[in-house]
Amino acid sequence: MKIIRVKDDREMSKQAARRIIEQVRQNPESTLGLATGGTPEGTYKELIKDYQENQTSYKQIRTFNLDEYVGLAPDDPNSYHFYMNQNLFDHIDIPSENIHLPNGLAEDLEAECQRYDDLIAELDGIDLQILGIGENGHIGFNEPGTSFQSHTHVETLTESTREANARYFESLRDVPTHALTMGISTILLSREILLMASGEHKAEAIYKLFYEDVDEQMPASILKTHDNVTLIADEQALSRM
Ligand code: GLP
């Protein structure tokens, strides 16, 4: 795993955006894997700024998001689909038919997971996957204990993850208990992965990622077995190293 150490969240966002823009310009038909949460917000702002200033086009780019809450509609302000529209898609020229997120409202969630994996495979996989890391080491919504062989699936969220994400909701009670997430093996199929971390609250997860064994109790640890992963982390996130 390559490590890029940066000063702060702003620098992390810029570095990640630079790599994404390079990918989009070199291969305008790329497939990007996208993440939500606080971590990539600054990166998306940088992409929008670059789009406005340099007209980098996303007309032929396809995207697959990592995850979506079960039970939330795309126009629900707390859904990841809404987050993506607000933070990125509404501001660039990507056609809506090129945007993919798991459907958290699907009647048959198992079939929806299968459809999502099949579609990723049909479109020849993900070229560049953006990842954040949960405080407990989760990636996407793959909580500790998830099989490294997992495909896209329904995940029961841990209380700590629900609490960490409650800041986006009116109360903890409103945070869904389940989510659809790309599985670990889905994520590992990406040809390149950018893992981002900023802030003191990520320091323990980053420490464990490096100093503990590859273990299903620490989902992100599997990234050490992938041959094209770059961690972009700020000083606070690296403070326990
Ligand atoms: C959330 C998301 C993940 C994200 C992680 C960290 O639960 N499902 O995709 O990477 O937790 O979130 P944040 O970036 O807000 O710290």
136 is annotated as an active-site residue = yes
CB 128 within 8 A of CB 20: yes
Q: For this structure, is 81 an active site residue? A: no
Per-residue pLDDT of the chain (241 residues; tens, 9 = 90+): 999 999 999 999 999 999 999 999 999 999 999 999 999 999 999 999 999 999 999 999 999 999 999 999 999 999 999 999 999 999 999 999 999 999 999 999 999 999 999 999 999 999 999 999 999 999 999 999 999 999 999 999 999 999 999 999 999 999 999 999 999 999 999 999 999 999 999 999 999 999 999 999 999 999 999 999 999 999 999 999 9
> Residue 96: how many CB atoms within 10 A of its CB?
7
Query: Is domain 2-234 in CATH 3.40.50.970, yes or no?
Result: no
CA angle, 189 as apex, 48 and 175 as ends, to 5°? 60
Residue minimizing CA distance to atom 9 of ligand 1:
140
pTM flag (> 0.90): yes
In 3D, which of 204, 199, 210, 205 has the Cα closest to residue 233? 199
Q: What is the pLDDT of residues 58-95, one digit of tens each?
A: 999 999 999 999 999 999 999 999 999 999 999 999 99
Largest interatomic CA distance in the chain: 45
Q: List Cα–Cα distances, 128 to 7, 52, 97, 131, 144, in angstroms.
A: 24, 22, 19, 10, 24
ipTM of the complex: 0.96
Q: How far apart are CA 166 and CA 61, in angstroms?
A: 32
Q: What lines the ligand 1 site, CB under 6 Å? A: 35-39, 66-67, 132, 134, 140-141, 161, 165
Instruction: Map out the domains of the chain as residue ranges.
Output: 2-234
